[in-house]
Amino acid sequence: MALIEAVEGLRPLDAGRLSQAQAIEAFTAVCIAVNIRYKARTYVRMGGI
Amino acid sequence: MHVGILGGTGPAGRGLGCRMAAAGIEVTIGSRDLARAEAVAAELVGSWPERSLPIRGSDNAGAAAADIVIVGTPWDSAVKTVQPLRDQLADKVVISMASALVRVGQQLQAITLGRGSVAATVQAALPASRITAAFHHLPAEDLSNLDEGLFADVLV
């Protein structure tokens, strides 16, 4: 977490245990599909926190 | 802090390496091919001469000597890359950033691996290391462009 915080512009969010990696990794496919559809380079921001 | 990126010569490894080095973190880009790692490191340092980025190239064993090690290879070579470094990576934090995706027609789709995720597969290959998963959703091209502002969350 400290490593991510050290990089300007990145905010680490603790999403839980390693078993959550499955959902995090799968969501990459969604990001890429949106990037292709909108010819964009998206990133993730979570509101409310 | 010293970060090593195994298989760090691809777009994601380059981008992350650049950003971390710009934050003053010492970065070693690793590769199976030492000459390629050195060339990529020199290219990144040369792209931002005024920043004197603390990046160097090494083989993967050299990158694995860092305090924190990121697996920057494509998902299907992650295990093959970390396995020979198992002893060296023991007790270290190892960050898995790959996603298991396959092309289906025009689209990339996520597939479910036997252990659930790339990160869990890497953990099984490195039982004595502390595996964490991060950096999956960042745009690699924007990471490498240090003039580009970055406002992204990283799910860990």
Question: By three-state DSSP, how is residue B70 classified?
Answer: strand
Query: Cβ of A21 under 8 Å from any chain B Cβ?
Result: yes
Query: Cβ of A35 under 8 Å from any chain B Cβ?
Result: yes
Q: What are phi and psi of B16, to 5 degrees?
A: -65, -40
Task: Taking each helix axis as running N to C, give the angle between helix B34-47 and helix B11-22, from 0 to 180 degrees, rounded to the nearest 10.
Answer: 50
How many interchain CB pairs under 8 A, A with B? Answer: 131
CA–CA separation, B13 and B4 (whole Å): 10
Does the distance separating the beta carbons of B20 and A22 come in below 8 Å? no
The domain at B2-144 falls in which architecture?
3-Layer(aba) Sandwich (3.40)
Q: What is the pLDDT of residues B103-116, one digit of tens each?
A: 999 899 999 999 99
Q: What are phi and psi of B22, to 5 degrees?
A: -65, -25
State the complex-level ipTM.
0.93
CA atoms lying within 13 Å on the CB side of residue A34:
11
Q: What is the pLDDT of residues A23-44, one digit of tens each?
A: 999 999 999 999 999 999 999 9
If you measure CA to CA, which chain B residue comes closest to A40? Answer: B139
- Among B20, B131, B141, whose Cβ lies nearest the Cβ of A41? B141
